[in-house]
Structure 1
Amino acid sequence: MKILVGSKNPVKINAVKEALSLYFDNIETIGIEVDSNVSVQPIGEDTFIGAKNRALKLFEINKEQKLKANYFVGIEGGIIKQFDKWFAFGCMCIIDEDKNCGFGLSPHFELPDGIVEKLLKGIELGNVMDEIQNEENTKQKLGAIGFFTNGIMNRKELYIEGLKVAVVPFLHKKMFFK
């Protein structure tokens, strides 16, 4: 089974491989960089839109290039305000060969006001975390969740949880798709 992932980030590619291997055999994951067509730091529903845009772009690339992939996965990190607090989360969109679509969300984790202020100005969470940790490219390592959980959870684990549930509609197609 061939799965296209809308990113070259090894964290996202490996999360897809690990999560979907729980459901499907002989998985090959291929990362292709595609644009989300939303802000670099999506807020609220733009996170869903960005994930779906990535998956749809992969669907089109698959058709154009005859890659014979079975699933197309877009992952988008975003922030959302709930219960008067700001949370970071990952949104996963999976599309199949018939253009059926399923969504999943990672666990949400609370963000401090100082970081949220920067994100609302359009700065990407990964860049803010690089600055805080005085490192480069932390989003391809533990990510913000790794920092805030003191290394107990990493970005790949965060995404795996959302991917595990994004596949639900495909496991029960008759209930979800007409």
Structure 2
Amino acid sequence: MIVLVGSKNPVKIEAVSEAFKKYFKNIETLGFEVDSKVPNQPFNDETFFGAQNRTFELKKINEQQKLNADYFIGIEGGISYNFNRWFAYGAVCVMNSKGKKGFGTSAHFELPEKVIKEIKSGKELGHVMDEIQNIKNTKQKKGAIGYFTNGKMTRKDLYIPAIVTALIPFLHKEHFN
């Protein structure tokens, strides 16, 4: 089975591999850099559109390169405002070769006001977290969730259940048209 991931980020590729191995055997996971067609730091529904757009771009690559992929996975990190608080989360879109889609989300975790101020000024969450931690490219490591949970959860840990829940329509086809 060939699974294409709309990112070259090793964290996302590993999360997809681990999630798919829970249900399928002989998985080949390939990452491609694709355009999400949403702002670098999406908010609310933009996050879901970004994940979905990544799958559409992957399907085009699949057709152009004749890869015969079975699934296309888009993962988009975003911010939402709920219950008078700001949260970070990941949205996932899984699309099969026939165009059927399933969506899932990661756990949402609250962001402090100082981080939100930086994001509202135009910065991406990953860049803000790089500055706070004085490191580079936290997005390809533990991520904001790793920092805020004192290393008890990583971005990969966050994404695996989101991918699993996005697979539900494929695992129970009888309940999803």
TM-score range, shorter chain: over 0.9
SS at match of 1:78: strand
Task: Report the TM-score when normalising by structure 1.
Answer: 0.98
Q: Which residue of 2 aligns with 1:131?
A: 131
Q: Cα distance, 1:121 vs. partner?
A: 2.4
Aligned mates of 2:23, 2:38 — CA distance in 1: 30
Q: 1:63-105 CA deviation, whole Å, 9 max, x = no partner? A: 1211010000000000000000000000000000110010000
Asked if the contact 1:7–1:31 (Cα under 8 Å) also holds between the matched residues in 2, the reply is: yes
The unaligned stretches of length 5 or more in structure 2 are none
**For residue 22 of structure 1, what is the amino acid of its counterpart?**
K
Asked if the contact 1:40–1:122 (Cα under 8 Å) also holds between the matched residues in 2, the reply is: no
SS at match of 2:35: coil
SS at match of 1:73: strand
Aligned mates of 1:120, 1:168 — CA distance in 2: 34
Q: Cα distance, 1:176 vs. partner?
A: 1.1
User: Are positions 1:61 and 2:61 aligned together?
Assistant: yes
SS at match of 1:18: helix
SS at match of 1:150: coil
User: Are positions 1:46 and 2:46 aligned together?
Assistant: yes
The unaligned stretches of length 5 or more in structure 1 are none
Aligned mates of 1:76, 1:12 — CA distance in 2: 10
Aligned mates of 1:137, 1:40 — CA distance in 2: 15
> Which 4+ runs in 1 deviate beyond 3 A?
none
Q: Cα distance, 1:173 vs. partner?
A: 1.7
Aligned mates of 1:37, 1:43 — CA distance in 2: 13
SS at match of 1:130: helix
Aligned mates of 1:84, 1:59 — CA distance in 2: 38
Q: Which residue of 1 aligns with 2:84?
A: 84
Q: Which residue of 1 aligns with 2:140?
A: 140
Q: Which residue of 2 aligns with 1:100?
A: 100
Q: 1:101-122 CA deviation, whole Å, 9 max, x = no partner? A: 1000000000001101111222
Task: Report the TM-score when normalising by structure 2.
Answer: 0.98
Aligned mates of 1:60, 1:173 — CA distance in 2: 25
SS at match of 1:34: coil
Q: Which residue of 2 aligns with 1:150?
A: 150
Identity rate of aligned residues, in percent? Answer: 58
